[in-house]
Amino acid sequence: MQFRHVQGMEDVLPTDSGRWRRLEAEFHRTMQLTGYGELRTPVLEHTELFKRSIGEVTDIVEKEMYSFQHSREHLTLRPEGTAGAVRAYVQHKVASAEPVSRWYYLGPMFRAERPQRGRLRQFHQLGAESFGDAGPLVDAELIDTLYGMLSRLGVTELDVRINSLGSAETRARYRAALVDHFTPHAAELSATSHERLQKNPLRILDSKAPQDRPLIDAAPSILELLSEEDRAHFEGLQAALTELGTPYTVDPGLVRGLDYYTRTLFEIRSSAGDLGAQNTLLGGGRYDGMVRSLGGPECPAIGFAAGVERLLLALPPSPSPVTPLVFFAPLGAAAQRACLTLARQVRALGHVALVDGRGGSLKSLLRRADGLRAPLCVVVGESELARGEVQLKQLELHQQSSLPLDTAAQQLAALLDVLAAGSAG
């Protein structure tokens, strides 16, 4: 019997994890430079937390959560990171300790969706949440920061969409306007939209069904219903983005699939790379009511999350950098033990050292060093050991020399320093 991974939950093998690490490093650096600190929360939370924050009538809560009961607790594998971040913010009473908190996170999320390219059941998000600042400058700064990060990573054909849903009251008025608009035509709507008309009419605007298109195009725009404060906020966001030179499009049809949003909504899409239909790299928005509704104080907040797997599909292919390393080729048992010590010394000096303890002829050991593209290979046999030496072969340069055993590690490290500086430049 052979096991396979669960459908929609993939392995990342060492041949691929370098790309993940480079992406994560860029994200850590970007967020740290923008004053965000890293948050780590558990992957399991109480089911009720997601129902209360994401909303009962959303795809996630209705059909995509991995939930189970253990003993008397109802638990769910987190489908996203915002609910847990807000739960932690409220639980640790962070608002009373600092007026503004900026947090970022990365990790696995779980949604039982139909898997396809760019859509998984275990996927990974890079995300951030900023608490205590009502914006709109922080909104613009976040969008611009993400646009800059994606550009530095080499993602092209970026399309920034923004919208405003207004305050909770505006949203309620908009909901009523949509019900008025769609109800006389209910029979013409697709089955999904028909169902949404009762439960969550905003989500009709997200429908991909062709038969819904004419009715959606004729629907009232949220932007016509914004209050004066909502409008000032949205204009402030646009003015700041324009000043920063971040290109954007106002898209009144952008609603997003989570219920907690107020005012600013945004997404960044790309048609580059291998993305296919799932071309939304990241999405986010303001959720000024959630901290309060989860038992905290009145506290404005905004955040975003990006799908790591989607970002990797959008990235241009890049050859993985070759790490300079030293390969130890010992001939015989005493030499193998001596090489273990030498390798430890080289690693302590910050370089990669591999010892081949499988034995074999010098020829086969050298072939293995070649296979690993090791620039340095150290051969140690009984006669070298007796002389207190090791033999260094610089494979690419076809040069050979002897090094004293007691300073070999330092000399090897110095050579690797030079090689590393060369490959970095």
Furthest C-alpha separation in the chain? 96
Q: Smallest distance from the beta carbon of 310 to ligand HAM, in angstroms?
A: 4
Piece of the chain touching ligand HAM by CB under 6 A; list 13-21, 116-124, 207-215, 334-342: 116-124
Nearest residue to 355 via CA among 282, 412, 290, 270: 412
Among 38, 27, 307, which residue's Cα sits nearest to residue 153? 27
Picking from 349, 339, 276, 340, the residue whose alpha carbon sits closest to that of residue 310 is: 276
| Residues in contact with ligand HAM, shown as a per-residue x/- string from 70 to 109 under the rule CB under 6 A | ----------xxx---------------------------
Q: How far is the CB of 282 from ligand HAM (least distance, A)?
A: 5
Binding-site size, ligand HAM (CB under 6 A): 26
Q: Which residue has the tokens 């303001």?
A: 286
Beta strands in 222-324 (DSSP E): 249-250, 262-270, 280-286, 301-307
**Closer of 269 and 351 to ligand HAM (Cβ):** 269
CB of 75 to ligand HAM, least distance (A): 19
Instruction: Report yes or no: 92 and 260 within 8 Å, Cβ to Cβ.
Output: no
Closest contact distance (angstroms) between CB of 306 and ligand HAM is: 5
CB of 28 to ligand HAM, least distance (A): 17
Give Cβ neighbours of residue 244 (< 8 Å, ≥ 6 apart). 140, 144
HEC profile of 169-231: HHHHHHHHHHHHHHHHHHHHCCHHHHHHHHHCHHHHHHCCCHHHHHHHHCCCCHHHCCCHHHH
Smallest distance, Å, CB 45 to ligand HAM? Answer: 13
Which residue, 161, 164, 162, 163, is CA-closest to 269?
161
Under rule CB under 6 A, residue 120 binds ligand HAM: yes
Identify which of residues 67 and 323 has a Cβ nearer to ligand HAM in the complex. Answer: 67
Which residue's CB is nearer to ligand HAM, number 90 or number 281? 281
Give yes or no for residue 307 binding ligand HAM (CB under 6 A): yes
52 binds ligand HAM per the rule CB under 6 A = no
Q: Tokens 């909502």 — which residue?
A: 230
> Which listed residue (87, 111, 203, 351) binds ligand HAM by CB under 6 A?
111
Q: For tokens 């002897």, what's the residue?
A: 402
* The only residue of 285, 300, 330, 375 in contact with ligand HAM, by rule CB under 6 A: 285
Piece of 214-222, 299-307, 335-343, 372-380 that binds ligand HAM (CB under 6 A) = 299-307
* Contact call for residue 212 and ligand HAM (CB under 6 A): no
- Is the Cα dihedral 412, 413, 416, 422 positive or negative? negative
Nearer to ligand HAM, 113 or 159 (CB): 113
Are the beta carbons of 348 and 308 closer than 8 angstroms?
A: no
**In angstroms, rounded to a whole number, what is the distance separating the alpha carbons of residues 194 and 257?**
17
Considering the rule CB under 6 A, would residue 289 count as an interface residue with ligand HAM? no
Nearer to ligand HAM, 118 or 296 (CB): 118
Among positions 129, 133, 141, 230, the unique one binding ligand HAM when judged by CB under 6 A:
129
Nearer to ligand HAM, 222 or 306 (CB): 306
Exposed / middle / buried, residue 230 (Cβ in 10 Å: 0-12, 13-18, 19+) = buried
Q: Is 125 in the site for ligand HAM (CB under 6 A)?
A: yes
* Residue closer to ligand HAM, measured from CB, 66 or 417: 66
Vertex 423: Cα angle to 421 and 425 (nearest 5): 70
Kindly state the smallest distance separating residue 10's Cβ from ligand HAM, in Å: 10
Q: 378 Cβ partners below 8 Å, 6+ apart?
A: 326, 327, 328, 329, 339, 342, 390, 391, 392, 393, 403, 408, 412
Compare residues 254 and 326 and give the one whose CB is closer to ligand HAM. Answer: 254
254 within 8 A of 284, measured Cβ to Cβ = no
Q: C-beta of 309: minimal distance to ligand HAM in Å?
A: 5
Q: Taking the complex as a whole, how short is the minimal distance between the CB of residue 111 and ligand HAM, in angstroms?
A: 5
- What residues line the site for ligand HAM (CB under 6 A)? 80-82, 111, 113, 118-120, 123, 125, 127, 129, 258, 280-285, 303-307, 309-310
